Chain A
Amino acid sequence: MSNATTPTIAVLGAGHVGPAIARLALDAGHTVAIATSGNPDDLALVTRLLIPGAEPLWPADAIARADIVVLAMPLHRFLRMDPNALSGKLVIDAMNYWPPTDGTLPPPFAAESVGTSEIVAERLHDAVVVKTLNHVGYHELETYARPSGSVDRRALGVAGDDPDAVDTVSALVDRIGYDAVPVGPLRAGRVLEPGGPVFGAVLRREDFERAVHSPAEQQMAFGLAEQHYGRSA
């Protein structure tokens, strides 16, 4: 593990999202490992060409070395993972319940009263979970990253129950090119989910804050969420 200012990152998932997050973290000077459920040898070519500088590892090795573990796999794959593998870790949940990819997940998924990161946190009871990086499209994540202070910098919401963890993750978000906007505990992180007012949108801080704090917007968002999940049922 490294010092607190440049924590070592493990990205779990090498699909659309994982490589984008890994590249941003590498650019920001972090040591980055990438892992999938399979053999890291199979990841070597992808890593060398698409994520140069990252190290492909078995998940257990990547997690063991990491200060921050980023979950960047489809949610239905996460459900097959042993939750104990992440014991004691600071975990970023960048996942969404996305029926086009996940199919229909069993309850409590899709229940209006609970956010997916709350379910993830409950499964990972020995880990500290922070929700972020889930609401910007993977194809836009690198396009919009900007150094601190840029006039056209965009915002990413951060939600978590542990204030220190939220601070640590917010610092990471800032280094990879976004203004971190804490939105409250994991429960409040539902505002970052599909159908919510900032999902799929890459907003400047003031627009982001206006969107997440406007009750009318939130109501609309949850209405949309209902429609979203209703369709998939």
Chain B
Amino acid sequence: MTDQPTNSVAVGAKETAFPLVLGLDTFGDRTNTADGQPLSHAQTIRNVVAEGVLAEQVGVDFFGIGEHHTDYFPMPAGDVVLASIAARTQRIHLGSAVTVLSSDDPVRVFQRYSTLNALSNGRAEVILGRGSSIESFPLFGYDLADYEQLFEEKTALFAQLLEGGPVTWQGTTRPALRDQDVVPYLEDGWRLPTWIGVGGSPQSVIRAARLGFSLMLAIIGGRPARFAPFADLFQQALANFGRPPLPVGVHGPGHVAATDEQAREEFWPHWRELIRLVAVERGFAIPTEESFAFETGPQGALYVGSPETVALKIATNLRTLGATRFDLKYGAGGLPHETLMTNIELYGRQVIPRVRELMTSAS
């Protein structure tokens, strides 16, 4: 990053001094009014801008928007929304979470985020991945069976574009490039920090290391601790490829309210409904009260509770996973905008300072 948050601290032992980054992610979840009526896509998008602006005001380091193309996540052009947030903020870093690169053109993705970087004075980031989303494949005419090759070729081209200078490239997934100038150039001394979002495939971890991208572990169910070997795998693979260490981040869903009970009560019906919607195509089990109790408990993957509960869980998992970044995926299936604003406020004003305190006292 170009300008690290000044209040960041280095954490962990085996991690070289990467700054602690605490962010928020949204998929542009289509929200409801307080009496349960769904808002329009357009209003949902405008609300996301307000949420991003509030995130900066309350001290959040990063605001990410995940690409989706569905009625319940009407968010296919997150970079446009991020540009709007960039114009209203000064400090917060802004990025995709994730960009579905395999059904996009790496040249266009570079151009859009390099433009965002210009508009935001170097605050843009990109997280590349799949985000367990598939809806962009039929939309743009790609075959899911080609996923591996699409992602492999396109991440490699994206890495090449980040180097700057005229690009020469040949592959099977887009037309060849010969000494092609790709603009806008990144400003002198600026980088476009790039991460790969990984859901649990070891080969994806190795690919991130090979290309020199940071690793974002998306942990949306089960025990986060089982991902600990992935951080080791990543750092050792980086070393094998002759690269310096790079930071590891964690993306996890959750909801913060004044008390544990309130957070669970607010989140549960919407979470259940959301997972029910996506269960068939993603193979998720529909949550039960028992599975929800596990996931929101100390061993589970959901960060749902009071600021203290959520902060403790974040700090514990960052240490367990050797990670220096956590992005909370807030909102779920219609949780009203006002509730999300309270969540963001509590996350920024109470969770983040508490996590910093816990991480500092632990090191």
Contacts and interface: CB of A to CB of B under 8 A. Distances in A.
Interface of A: 14-16, 19, 45-46, 49-50, 76, 96, 98-104, 137-140, 142-143, 194-195, 199-202, 224, 227-228, 231
B22 to A, nearest CB: 24
A108 to B, nearest CB: 17
Q: List 6 A-B pairs, minimum CB-CB distance, nearest first.
A: A103-B145, A139-B222, A200-B285, A103-B144, A46-B202, A100-B134
Contacts of B132: 100
Interface of B: 132, 134, 143-147, 199-203, 206, 221-223, 226, 229-230, 232-233, 236-237, 240, 279-286
A195 B202 CA distance: 27
B231 to A, nearest CB: 10
A231 B277 CA distance: 13
Contacts of A46: 202-203, 206, 233
Contacts, number: 82
A228 B280 contact: yes
Nearest to B223: A143
A137 B284 CA distance: 8
A93 B24 CA distance: 40
A49 B145 contact: no
Contacts of B284: 137, 200
Contact of A49 (B144, B199, B232): B232
A66 B283 CA distance: 30
Contacts of A104: 143-145
B145 A201 contact: no
Given A15-B201, A19-B202, A50 B285 contact: no
B299 to A, nearest CB: 8
Contacts of B226: 139, 142-143
B144 A99 contact: yes
Contacts of B236: 45, 49
Contact of B240 (A45, A138, A139): A45
Contacts of B200: 16, 138-139
Contact of A98 (B230, B233, B283): B283
Nearest to A228: B280
A74 B296 CA distance: 31
B282 A100 contact: yes
Contacts of A101: 144, 147
A49 B229 contact: yes
B184 to A, nearest CB: 35
8 contacts: A15-B203, A100-B282, A103-B143, A103-B147, A104-B144, A137-B221, A140-B221, A142-B226
A139 B206 CA distance: 19
A24 B146 CA distance: 31
Contact of A14 (B202, B279, B281): B202
Nearest to A102: B145
A88 to B, nearest CB: 30
Contacts of A100: 132, 134, 144, 281-283
Given A15-B201, A45-B240, A224-B280, A76 B134 contact: no
A168 to B, nearest CB: 27
A70 B201 CA distance: 18
A222 to B, nearest CB: 13
Chain B CB within 10 A, most for which of A100, A103, A194: A100
A138 B226 CA distance: 11
A228 to B, nearest CB: 5
Nearest to B132: A100
B281 A231 contact: yes
A49 B226 CA distance: 12
A16 B206 CA distance: 14
B294 to A, nearest CB: 8
A139 B285 CA distance: 11
Nearest to B199: A16
A14 B222 contact: no
Given A49-B233, A200-B279, A231-B281, A103 B146 contact: yes
Nearest to A42: B206
A38 to B, nearest CB: 10
Chain A CB within 10 A, most for which of B134, B237, B282, B285: B285
Contacts of B146: 103
B202 A140 contact: no
Given A142-B226, A194-B283, A16 B144 contact: no
Nearest to B130: A100
B280 A195 contact: yes
A136 to B, nearest CB: 9
Given A96-B283, A100-B132, A142-B226, 6 more contacts: A45-B236, A137-B283, A137-B284, A139-B200, A140-B222, A200-B285
B61 to A, nearest CB: 28
Nearest to A36: B203
Contacts of A99: 134, 144
Contact of A228 (B147, B229, B281): B281
B202 A50 contact: yes
